Amino acid sequence: MMRPQIILLKAGTDTSQGKPQIISNINACQVIVDAVKTTLGPRGMDKLIVDQSGKTIISNDGATIVSKLEVIHPAARTLVDIAQSQDTEVGDGTTTVVLLTGEILKLVKPYVEEGMHTHFIANGIRLSADKAIEAIKELQVTLKKENPEEFRSMLEKCAATSLCSKLVATEKEFFSKMVVDAVSILDQNLLPLKMIGIKKVTGGSLNESQLIDGVAFKKTFSYAGFEMQPKKYTSPLIAQLNIELELKAERENAELRLDNVEEYQAVVDAEWNILYNKLDSIVKSGAKVVMSKLPIGDVATQYFADRDIFCAGRVTEEDMNRTIKACGGSLQTTTSSLKREVLGKCERFEEVQIGGERFNILSGCPNSKTCTLILRGGAEQLIEETERSLHDAIMIVRRAIKHEAIVAGGGAIEMELSKVLRDLSRTILGKQQFIIAAVAKSLEVIPRQLCDNAGFDANEFLNRLRQQHSLGHKWIGVDIMNEGLTDNFIAFVWEPALVKVNAITAACEAACLILSVDETIKAPKSVQDGVPAGMPGGPPVGRGRGRPM
C-alpha cells in the first residue's frame, strides 16, 4: 500500500538538500573569492563598479566591492556579511578574510565529497583557529608607549602598511603621518571615530590634502548681507540653534482668517516683531557666531551683519553634533533661554578658501578633541577611494593604540601559522589531521595571491618561504617592491595582531557556518499573497481585466 503524499510547503517552493547542496554553497563562495582576490596587496588591481543609477565606483577595498555586487545567493551572502563585520570591527583585512574563507572551503571540499561529516570538519577548523590564535599571541611583539617617538613611528608604519595596497599608495608616507596626527588629536581613552570629519574638495593633487585641528564645514547657503559679516573672530561665543530665522516660519505654522486689510497688516507686523524678538535675544546673549540646522533668511542675515555677527544656516546634523561636542553648549530650539551657559566657545573662528570651496573653521575647541580631514584630488572617484583608504588606516591606528601588539605582514605571519598548524597536524591521530593540514595550507593563499598579483612565480616563492620558516626565520615574507623575500619586521611591514586574530576567527566561523547548511528552502516568487499564478490560492491564469471567465 502506497504511503499518502503529504504536502508541507507552499506550491512552487524550491528545496535542495544533502551533500550536493553543501558543494553548491562552496562553489558559490568561490565566485565571490574570484571577484576580490586580485585586489590583494600593493600590486592588487582595482575594480570599477557601475550601480543601477549609473554612478561609478573605483575601489580595491574588499568590503566595498562585495557590498556593491548585490549578491543574491543566500550562502554567498555570508561572505559579504563576514567582510563587512571585519570592516566594522577592525577596519582592514576584508579581502584577507574573504580569501581565507574561500580557500578553507576549497580545500575541505574533497572531504565533503568523500562523505566526511561536516560537523567533524567544522571541529577541525575550530581547533585550527584556536591554535593559530594562540600562536599569534606568542609571536606578536608588544611596543610600549614609554617612548613616544618609537610608538608614533610604529603607528605610522602600521598606517603605511594599510595604505600600501590602496589607490593612494604613492602618497602613503604623506597620508600615514596625517592619519596618526588625526588619531593623536582625539581623546586617547575613547578614540571616537565620529570626531574625525572628512570633507572632499575636487581639484588639486592628493598631497594638497590637509588636516584641520578642529571642526571645519563647507560654507552654507547664504543670503545678501553675508558678505558684510566678519569672517574671523578670536574666542567667540557660539549659538547652536535648531530654529528657522525667516519671516515665513510663523505664517506656515498657523491658519488665519482675515476680514480686512488692517487685520492682515497686524499679522505682518506680528511676524516681524516675533522675528526681531528672536534676533534681539541672540544678540543680547553675546554670541558672535550663530549656527542653525534650519534656514537663516535674508532679514536675519542683514540684521546680524549690521551687528558684526557671523551666521550659518542649514548646517548639517553631523557638523552640528561635532561642533556641540567640541565647543560645548547645547542645541537650542528657542531663543527665550539663550544664556551664557548654553553657548559654545572656541579659540578661533575663521572662513578660508580651499580650492573652489569656502570653509568655516572652528579651532581650539575646549571640551572635546576633534579634527577634520580635507581631501583633494582630481576626480570624484579618486577622492572617494581616498576616503575609504584613510578610513582603513585610521581604524588600524586606533586598534594599534589600544592593543599595542603587532606582527609582520606581507604573508610572513600566515606562513609561520601555516608551519605551526602543519606541525600540529603531524601529532594528531585519525582523520582530524587532514582538516588541520587543509587549514594550514589555506593560510598560504595570502602570500600566494600576493605573488600572483605582482606577477611573480608563486610556486617558487612559496617553496622558498616554507624553507625559510622551517629554519626558524619567522618574519620572512614576500618583498613585493624588490621581487624577493625579506624580513618584513625589519622592513617595517607591520600590522596590528588584532587584524590577523579577527581575520582568522571570522574566516573559520564563516567556513563552519557554510558547511553546517545542508538544505536551502526558497520561497516561490509571489504574484499575489506569495502564490504564483495558476496555483491554488493564487490569481487564475489567462484572466484579463474586465473579461468574464
Most confident segment among 241-245, 268-272, 367-371: 241-245
Kindly state the average pLDDT of the residues 532-542.
48
Cell of 220: 552654507
pLDDT at 370 (0 to 100): 85
pLDDT given for residue 165 in this prediction: 81
User: Residue type for 288, please?
Assistant: K
Q: Where is pLDDT greater, at 92 or 29?
A: 29
Q: Which of 76-80, 120-124, 271-275 has the highest mean pLDDT?
A: 120-124
Interior CA angle at 296 toward 295 and 300, to 5°? 160
d(CA 255, CA 505): 62
**Rounded Cα distance, 363 and 399, in Å:** 26
How high is the pLDDT of residue 203?
Answer: 85
Segments of 37-194 assigned E as strands: 47-50, 56-59, 141-142
Which of 13-27, 119-133, 187-201, 371-385 bottoms out in mean pLDDT, i.e. has the lowest?
A: 13-27
- Do 197 and 215 contact (CB within 8 A), yes or no? yes
Share of the chain above pLDDT 90, in %: 26
Q: What angle do CA 61, 98, 512 make, to 5 degrees?
A: 155
pLDDT score recorded for residue 194: 84
Q: Is the pLDDT of residue 540 over 80?
A: no
pLDDT of residue 434: 92
First to last CA, the chain: 40
Q: Are 511 and 29 in contact (CB under 8 A)?
A: no
Rounded-to-integer distance, Cα 312 and Cα 301, Å:
9
Residue 548 has pLDDT above 50, yes or no: no
SS3 40: coil
User: Can you tell me the mean pLDDT for 167-187?
Assistant: 88
Give CA–CA dist 490/470, Å, rounded.
19
> Can you give the pLDDT at residue 476?
92
| Of the listed ranges 81-95, 416-430, 463-477, the one predicted with least confidence | 81-95
Report how far apart, in Å, the C-alpha atoms of 318 and of each of 171, 195, 410 are.
28, 10, 38
**Contact indicator for 527, 18 with CB cutoff of 8 Å:** no
pLDDT tens readout for residues 467-522: 999 998 899 999 888 888 999 888 888 888 888 999 999 999 999 998 887 776 66
pLDDT recorded at residue 42? 85
7: pLDDT confidence band, cut at 50, 70 and 90?
Answer: low
How would you list the strands of the sheet with 141-142, edge to edge?
A: 141-142, 405-408, 494-496
How far is C-alpha 311 from the geometric centre of its chain's CA atoms? 33
* Cα dihedral across residues 487, 490, 493, 496: positive or negative: positive
Q: Which helix (H) or strand (E) holds 172?
A: helix 172-185
The mean pLDDT value of the chain amounts to: 84
525 has a pLDDT exceeding 70: no
What distance in Å separates the CA atoms of residue 502 and residue 92, rounded to the nearest whole number?
10
